[in-house]
Amino acid sequence: MGTTKSAVSRLEAVGKHAPSLTTLKKYARAVGCRLEIKLVPSARLTKRSTGRPKKLYAA
């Protein structure tokens, strides 16, 4: 990844660091993944005009 062990540790520490998109892309590539960012509507915003919730699906 071209960085230090401490930088990777900060990246892996939940809630303690806000890495840039560039850093996340590098990390994903280093661990054999691709970075995917999605905006998913919250459950309270998925009501149709009928009042029934929309069917949600996992990608």
Q: Return averaged pLDDT per consecutive 10 residues of the chain, 59 residues in all.
A: 75 77 87 91 66 60
**pLDDT at residue number 37:** 92
Helix axes 21-30, 5-12, angle to 10 degrees: 100
**pLDDT at residue number 11:** 74
Tokens of 16: 């303690």
Tokens of 23: 């850093």
Prediction pTM value: 0.51
**pLDDT at residue number 46:** 54
**pLDDT at residue number 47:** 54
Containing H/E element for 7?
A: helix 5-12
**pLDDT at residue number 4:** 78
**pLDDT at residue number 32:** 92
